[in-house]
Amino acid sequence: MVNDHMTKYLVAPLNWGLGHASRCVPLVQRLLDEGHEVILGGDGESLTLLRRHFPKLRYTYLAPLNLRYSAGKSQVWAMLKALPKLLIWSIKDHLMLQALLREEHIDCIISDNRFGLYLTAKRSNSPKDGLASNSETVYITHQLHIKLPKGWRWAERIASRLHARVYTHYKKVWVPDYEDFAKSLAGELSHQDDVQRNDVRCTIEYIGPLSRFAGISGYQDNGTPSYDIVAVLSGLEPQRTALEKEIIARYQNTKEQVLIVQGLMHRPSTRIKRANLTIVPTMGDAELMAAMKGAKHIIARSGYSSIMDLEALGVMGKAELIPTPGQTEQEYLAFWLQNRTSK
């Protein structure tokens, strides 16, 4: 962390599914345990998740980002069309941060993949100006190397350099993975090539995996019903709904007891029972941990935060990782972990 005395932090995750927010939960908790002040920042369901975990903390809305995946098997054109929206969003985020910092001083800004939460090069020395020269900026990412689909591999180095242009605005980059490649959960994604090492000027620190389950002590049977299958859904629409429908179709005429956690923060917390299927919008961490620990089989997207959760719970061996179609990062992660664990 920045230092030992009480520090005021702004922690702001990207609103792209719930993974960026969920992996900020243990980080926020550690800061609070150390006696620091934390302000939550963000938008959409990711901010809602953090607010539910930390209802007493102050929060501030940042620029909203609403993206959708393609319904097909390729996300290339969907992401290319999203680039102008991402640029405008990052500029709005940056301007909103400047407005916030004019109102109060923040010692450290921790941005989980929000591109615009860096400090401008020109800062005022006024003690009333939040842009003080001793403010720290941290960018969290597990993607130092960007993976692209087949046919676009030639552009991977360009994409990685463009991402580096983003995070070199920050003083530090925190990578939630192990630096030792043999132990890495993200493989090539979280490790730079030689060219990147020479180009990138900011400090890169490997801080180890971040999981919301890491702070829950021990597994206890707390009365959570036992399920054969637990499916934990996440990610952008329409692919989130597509996987939910696929799981329902797969198990609705079987005898297996199936729990589907939809990953929808804004839905009423109503438990729907359909024969052998139980469907809930969200679950508390302790209850979800018990359900996953007790399950015979777990289904999840191969998003990186889901992978860190599975690793923290020690249930990777019974997990079926299903990449979002056309999401090259998730396809690589599923391949990497299958080959890493099979060796």
- Tell me the pLDDT tens digit for each residue of 33-46: 999 999 999 999 99
Q: Give a yes or no: residue 212 inside a domain.
A: no
Q: Domains in the chain: how many in total?
A: 2
Whether residue 245 sits in one domain with residue 200: no
With respect to residue 63, please indicate whether it lies within any of the assigned structural domains.
yes
Residue 120 banded pLDDT, cuts 50, 70, 90: confident
Instruction: Report DSSP letters for 199-257, one per residue.
Output: H--SEEEE-----TTTTS-S----SPPP-SEEEE--SSTTHHHHHHHHHHHHHTTSSS-
In angstroms, the CA 148 to CA 123 distance is 37
Say if CB 145 and CB 193 are below 8 A apart.
yes
User: Stretch 22-36: mean pLDDT, rounded?
Assistant: 96
Q: What is the pTM of this model?
A: 0.89
96 shares a domain with 23: yes
Residues 171 and 25 in one domain: yes
pLDDT value of position 156: 85
CA distance 186 to 177: 7
The pLDDT tens digits of the residues spanning 204-223 come to 999 999 999 987 755 555 55
242 within domain boundaries:
yes
Name the domain boundary from 147, 174, 206: 206
Residue 286 and residue 193 share a domain: no
Owning domain of residue 149: 8-206
CATH number at residue 103: 3.40.50
Separation between Cα atoms, residue 116 and residue 111, nearest integer Å:
9
